Amino acid sequence: MIKVLNVAEKPSVAKSVATILSRNQLRVREGRSRYNKIFEFNHSINDQQCPMFVTSVTGHLMEVDFEDRFRKWHSCDPADLYTAPVRKHVPEDKLDIKRTLEEEARKCHWLVLWLDCDREGENIAFEVMEVCKGVNRNLTIRRARFSALIERDIHEAAQNLIAPNQ
């Protein structure tokens, strides 16, 4: 049986997607972040029954910063910033979300991304993928493409999952 972790761009979208797909027959439990609940239910994807776990991020999961030695106003020549190394990391205030994603991804076979269908949404999708693949390299990753949080769009998106577009 395929266990599916679904990740939405914000908590309200996670709740809407879970409510629609479960036909309001879901269980709710706390994640590590008090704002990002986990909704559980069974759903059929392409005629296969799957336990579904739906949670969310709160926009971008990661930040990109210069290394410490380049972060102060007078620490370097501004021209050096064009070639200065940057680091991508999960900031302190989003570590609980990261931990929830890691815990849930370890138990699942698929990761389905319910993020906005624009460049920013794709960027956030790849941040989520990086965290989840870090603990479970074998995840099958799919993207739900939808334009509105209405039953028809959400059910259609769940049955027509696509590959993420870097």
Share of the chain above pLDDT 90, in %: 71
Number of domains the chain is built from? 1
Looking up residue 139, the CATH number of its domain turns out to be 3.40.50.140
| Model pTM score | 0.89
Residues of the domain holding 136:
4-62+90-159
Q: Mean of the pLDDT values across residues 42-61?
A: 92
Least confident of 5-9, 39-43, 73-77: 73-77
Cα–chain center distance at 115 = 7
- When pLDDT is cut at 50, 70 and 90, the band that residue 81 belongs to is confident
- Give a yes or no: residue 165 inside a domain: no
- Give a yes or no: residue 140 inside a domain: yes
CB 38 within 8 A of CB 22: no
CB 97 within 8 A of CB 31: yes
Question: Over the stretch 57-78, which tens digit does the pLDDT of each residue have?
Answer: 999 999 988 888 887 777 888 8
- Give a yes or no: residue 166 inside a domain: no
Per-residue pLDDT at 29 exceeds 90 = yes
Q: What is the pLDDT of residue 27?
A: 96
Q: How far apart are CA 133 and CA 63, in angstroms?
A: 18
- Give a yes or no: residue 84 inside a domain: no
Question: Over the stretch 125-152, which tens digit does the pLDDT of each residue have?
Answer: 999 999 999 999 999 999 999 999 999 9
